[in-house]
């Protein structure tokens, strides 16, 4: 069906042209025998004016051009190829038929309809491609103008021509030793080396402008895709041909002290990006995949400290957490998957605990980029043989009143060390788990005695991160009760919700920043008894709901109803119940 539609377009045009030429021949002969009539249909128009033939050829050529481009793009981008080909075929066939049998002036309407369809398809296509491949953009028009000027012999500087801001103009680099990189020497002898270095500057400038903590270069066929991590989601901004993307990646490796010729093992390096008066250190590392070697650049920026009240918890949860942090001993579990803001919440809780004058220590796998004066930071270098349990044991020996935060409990030994330390100290420990109850039973599965655990466990806090709708471009819409029910909201009347739109202020993503979605499970009453008696997770959840436990999904729905985030974003982060 898909190929038949595309093949039908040129066949239809060919038949159309042959018919017109036969009509022209008959009309020319008839013109000698009778006087011409006022033009109306295409039969009469061609007998009087040859310009209509030229217009016919233009319309048919436009139709074929758009049909060919639509077919190729829809096939490459998986864009419902049958639908788009069918629409362009119907538009062209209907327009030509109307102008043939009804009125010749329908050719103008056909041209307008085809151009409008082309704009609609281009807009749909642009949403699926990298930023530098979009045709409905100022940059694309600038590139076409440069090509046109070059075709007539006018040369311009493609980097600065008609640009208010030249990407990467102020970006410079320092190598792993802190020395300024000689860009001219680095690009010397490399085919299109200057262009590739321009791509490197463009990537760095875009990452710093968007506030992206990292970006990746990943080969895909004959291109190199560049994706930027913004608010926890990867966005493809650039797609370079291999002859530019490959040397650009090699330049980044060389500046970071990585061997660009060694593509068969993972490598790590560092470089410094200088932009104006700012210097940002970056970690560069390679990973191997089926598609090829992926290069990642992660910026080591100091992240801003976020207070407990600003994390996204409701007032009731903040109050309960603060009360727990006043206790002298016990275990507070912080459950969240990697990349869900667990360390940020841990630091906020330690800061709140230390505000009463208590000493605090955080034990983490990697050196923290956040600097605070009110706690001690201990780094556990696993690759050098350091152990979390040893770090916990050393921490509890220093001060009996100390609050200890452990960023991660990776194994049974570290879990047992944290549970033992909770007999004398207040321990806030993170664990990789999807929710609070799953985090508790993950501890149980690590051969920790249930009697020991229920005696020290005070509460479990779980969280995820959702993107916040851009206040500049979010749009409201009305949702019917039936759809609200599927979302998990009971309502007898339609409700107003908000969705993302996209604008220059948010980088066309529709979101700016992230906030937490939380659930807080306090170990009291029936919940504690369920753990004590060794009951399963379902029994604990039932007891928790009896005590008023709402769950993380409910907290997220409250944020959707308040217009903080969208329903699609919440469903992206966590699946609807049932």
Q: Residue 227: what pLDDT?
A: 94
Q: Is the same domain home to 227 and 326? A: no
CATH code for position 453: 3.40.50.300
Euclidean distance between CA atoms 220 and 217, whole angstroms: 10
pLDDT, tens only, 50-83: 666 777 788 888 888 898 888 888 887 788 888 9
Is residue 151 assigned to a domain?
A: no
Q: Is the same domain home to 357 and 314? A: yes
Is residue 221 assigned to a domain?
A: yes
Q: Is the same domain home to 293 and 324? A: no
Q: Domain boundary at 267, 299, 331, which?
A: 299
Q: Residue 31: what pLDDT?
A: 47
Q: Residue 108: what pLDDT?
A: 82
Q: Residue 522: what pLDDT?
A: 92
Q: Residue 29: what pLDDT?
A: 47
Q: Residue 370: what pLDDT?
A: 56
Q: Which of 374, 442, 430, 436 is nearest to 406 (CA)?
A: 430
Domain count for the chain: 3
Q: Residue 47: what pLDDT?
A: 42
| Residues in the chain, pLDDT under 50 | 1-2, 4-6, 8, 18, 21-48, 578
Q: Residue 23: what pLDDT?
A: 47
Which helix or strand (DSSP H or E) is residue 519 part of?
Answer: strand 511-522
Q: Residue 130: what pLDDT?
A: 66
Q: At what angle do helices 51-77 and 2-33 cross, to 10 degrees?
A: 180
Q: Residue 414: what pLDDT?
A: 87
Task: Report the chain's C-alpha Rg in angstroms.
Answer: 32
Q: Residue 107: what pLDDT?
A: 78
Q: Is the same domain home to 108 and 215? A: no
Q: How many CB atoms lie within 10 A of CB 507?
A: 22
Q: What is the pTM of this model?
A: 0.72
What is the extent of the structural domain holding 500?
308-573
Tokens of 2: 């898909």
pLDDT, tens only, 221-273: 889 999 999 988 998 888 899 999 999 999 999 999 999 988 888 899 999 99
Q: Is the same domain home to 413 and 462? A: yes
């Amino acid at each position: 069906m898909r190929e038949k539609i595309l093949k039908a377009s040129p066949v239809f045009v060919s038949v159309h042209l042959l018919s017109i030429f036969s009509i022209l021949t008959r009309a020319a002969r008839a013109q000698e025998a009778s006087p011409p009539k006022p033009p109306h249909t295409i039969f009469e128009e061609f007998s009087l004016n040859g310009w209509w033939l030229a217009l016919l050829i233009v319309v048919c050529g436009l139709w074929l051009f758009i049909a060919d481009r639509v077919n190729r793009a829809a096939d490459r981008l998986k864009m419902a190829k049958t639908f788009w080909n069918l629409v362009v075929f119907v538009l062209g066939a209907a327009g030509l038929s109307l102008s043939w049998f009804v009125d010749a002036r329908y050719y103008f309407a056909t041209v307008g309809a085809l151009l409008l369809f082309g704009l609609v398809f281009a807009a749909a296509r642009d949403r699926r491609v990298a930023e530098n491949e979009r045709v409905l953009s100022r940059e694309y028009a600038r590139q076409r103008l440069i090509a046109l000027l070059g075709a007539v012999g006018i040369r311009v500087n493609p980097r600065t021509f008609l640009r208010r801001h030249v990407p990467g103009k102020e970006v410079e680099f320092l190598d792993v030793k802190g020395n300024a990189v000689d860009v001219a020497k680095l690009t010397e002898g490399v085919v299109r080396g200057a262009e590739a270095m321009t791509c490197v500057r463009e990537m760095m400038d875009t990452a710093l402008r968007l506030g992206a903590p990292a970006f990746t270069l990943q080969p895909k066929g004959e291109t190199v895709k560049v994706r930027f991590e913004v608010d926890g989601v990867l966005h493809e901004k650039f797609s370079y041909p291999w002859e530019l993307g490959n040397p650009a990646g090699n330049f980044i490796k060389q500046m970071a002290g990585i061997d660009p010729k060694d593509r068969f093992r993972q490598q790590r390096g560092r470089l410094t990006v200088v932009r104006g008066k700012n210097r940002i250190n970056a970690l560069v590392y390679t990973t191997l995949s089926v598609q090829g070697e992926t290069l990642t650049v992660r910026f080591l920026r100091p992240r801003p400290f976020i207070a407990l009240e600003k994390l996204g918890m409701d007032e009731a949860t903040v109050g309960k957490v603060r009360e727990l942090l006043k206790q002298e001993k016990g275990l507070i579990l912080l459950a969240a998957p990697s990349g869900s803001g667990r360390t940020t919440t841990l630091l906020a809780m330690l800061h709140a605990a230390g505000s009463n004058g208590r000493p605090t220590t955080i034990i983490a796998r990697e050196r923290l980029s956040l600097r605070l004066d009110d706690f001690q930071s201990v780094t556990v270098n696993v690759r050098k043989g350091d152990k979390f349990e040893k770090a916990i044991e050393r921490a509890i020996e220093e001060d009996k009143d100390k609050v200890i935060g452990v960023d991660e409990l990776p194994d049974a030994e570290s879990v047992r060390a944290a549970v033992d330390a909770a007999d004398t100290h207040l321990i806030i420990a993170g664990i990789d788990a999807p929710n609070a109850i799953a985090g508790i039973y993950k501890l149980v599965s690590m051969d920790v005695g249930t009697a020991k655990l229920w005696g020290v466990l005070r509460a479990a806090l779980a969280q995820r991160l959702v993107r916040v709708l851009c206040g500049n471009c979010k749009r409201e819409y009305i949702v019917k009760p039936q759809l609200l029910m599927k979302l998990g909201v009971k309502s007898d009347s339609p409700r107003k919700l908000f969705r993302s739109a996209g604008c220059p202020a948010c980088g066309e993503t529709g979101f700016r920043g992230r906030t937490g979605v939380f659930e807080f499970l306090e170990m009291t009453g029936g919940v504690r008894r369920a753990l004590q008696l060794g009951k399963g997770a379902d029994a604990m959840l039932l007891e928790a709901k009896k005590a008023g436990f709402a769950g993380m999904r409910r907290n997220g729905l409250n944020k959707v109803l308040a217009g903080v985030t969208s329903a699609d974003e919440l469903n992206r982060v966590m699946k609807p119940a049932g």
